[in-house]
Amino acid sequence: MHKARARSAGRRLEKTGILLAAPALALLVLLFAYPIFFNFYMSFFRLNLYVSTEKTFIGFDNYVSILQDSLFYGALMNTTFFALASVALEFIIGLVLALLLSKIKGIWMGILGAALMIPMFLSEIIEGVVGQLLFSPRIGLINAFTKSLFGVEFPWITSKTLAMWTIVIVDTWKMLPFFILIFLAAIVSIPKDMEEAMNLDGASTLQQVRYLIIPYMLPVFAIATVMRAIDAFTKVFGVVYVITFGGPGLATDVVPLRIFNLALRAFHWGSAATWGVFAFLISTILVAMYIFVKRRWT
């Protein structure tokens, strides 16, 4: 009797929970589950809206031609390079700065917090505009400086080897604050008594960093880095669009930009959908990676 009532109360709770989450889940199914299915379906057709609205079933032909296309590997390499290089720079500089800034307090902390939040919260388009204003061959401020100080100019945006680095530098300006803020929060949460004990034992600052701070922060390192790298890989678009639009040549062609161009500039829908399927598979691997790291470190 008692048990039966408890069970029905449990079911009622379960129903309330599902009811509360239902609008969100319905929206997510519309926004994600259906689109993923749509990409799979379309990937088996040839459809170029410039030519006609007729679609022809071609089996795996789209897959075969993408796997043989150097554009595909180029975009994958560029996107991976962008994600790894910018996150590595942001991580290292962010860690050093967080360690150096950990004693800041009060109003100064407020000034720092605001100054860090501004670039991080700006639009990716503003990030691109800043990149143009600083690095453009016509009016770029950086070249004006290097020219007057050292007498050299760099082809920041126009050189195939430098263009991606330029985007990485601009992104480091914008996203470095993420690591500084996360690391600062982690350092502040280190138990004070452990720090005092090490001080009493006469440990140097470097020893404290090596034996207390770094081990304590490992989970934060792992989770924050993986999350930022995934974000950098999957979301890079606006900054490239404004600074180089994938060029010069294909030097900064990244996966989101390639899919955008195929879908909405070239109207190669079958091909764009197949790229979408590959991007979906990559996303799945990234999710698995994130869950693995999170389980391992928390």
Partner 1 sequence: MKGLLNYLILVILVIFMMSPIVWMFVLSMKPETAILGPPLDPFEPTSAHYINLFGQFGFGRAIQNSLIVALVVLAITIPVASLAGYGLSRFPIPGVQWILVFILFCKIIVPAILLLPLYEIVKTLGLLNTIAGIVLGHLSWQLPFAILIMESFCKGMPKEIEEAAWLDGFSRFETFWKIVFPLMAPGIAVVGLFTFGGSWGEFLFAVSFAYGSSLRTGPVQISLMTTTYKVYWGELAASGILWSIPIIIIAVLFHRHMTRGIRLGF
- Could you tell me the smallest distance in angstroms from the CB atom of residue 128 to partner 1? 8
By the rule CB under 8 A, 275 interacts with partner 1: yes
By the rule CB under 8 A, 292 interacts with partner 1: no
By the rule CB under 8 A, 221 interacts with partner 1: no
Number of other residues whose CB lies within 10 A of the CB of residue 58? 16
By the rule CB under 8 A, 238 interacts with partner 1: yes
Among 134, 167, 175, 251, binds partner 1 (CB under 8 A): 134
d(CA 67, CA 279): 13
- Could you tell me the smallest distance in angstroms from the CB atom of residue 178 to partner 1? 7
Footprint on residues 169-208 left by partner 1 (CB under 8 A): 173, 177-178, 181-182, 185
Footprint on residues 50-109 left by partner 1 (CB under 8 A): 97, 100-101, 103-104, 108
d(CA 146, CA 149): 5
- Could you tell me the smallest distance in angstroms from the CB atom of residue 68 to partner 1? 21
Segment contacting partner 1 by CB under 8 A, of 154-162, 190-198, 207-215, 278-286: 278-286
Cβ–Cβ < 8 Å for 101, 186: no
Among 23, 59, 151, 202, binds partner 1 (CB under 8 A): 23
By the rule CB under 8 A, 149 interacts with partner 1: no
d(CA 154, CA 160): 12
Quick one: DSSP state of residue 245? Answer: T
Q: Transcribe 121-190 into DSSP letters.
A: HS-HHHHHHHHHHHH-TTT-HHHHHHHHHHS----TTTSTTTHHHHHHHHHHHHHHHHHHHHHHHHHHTS
Segment contacting partner 1 by CB under 8 A, of 51-59, 63-71, 135-143, 159-167: 135-143
Burial (CB count <10 Å: 0-12, 13-18, 19+), residue 273:
buried
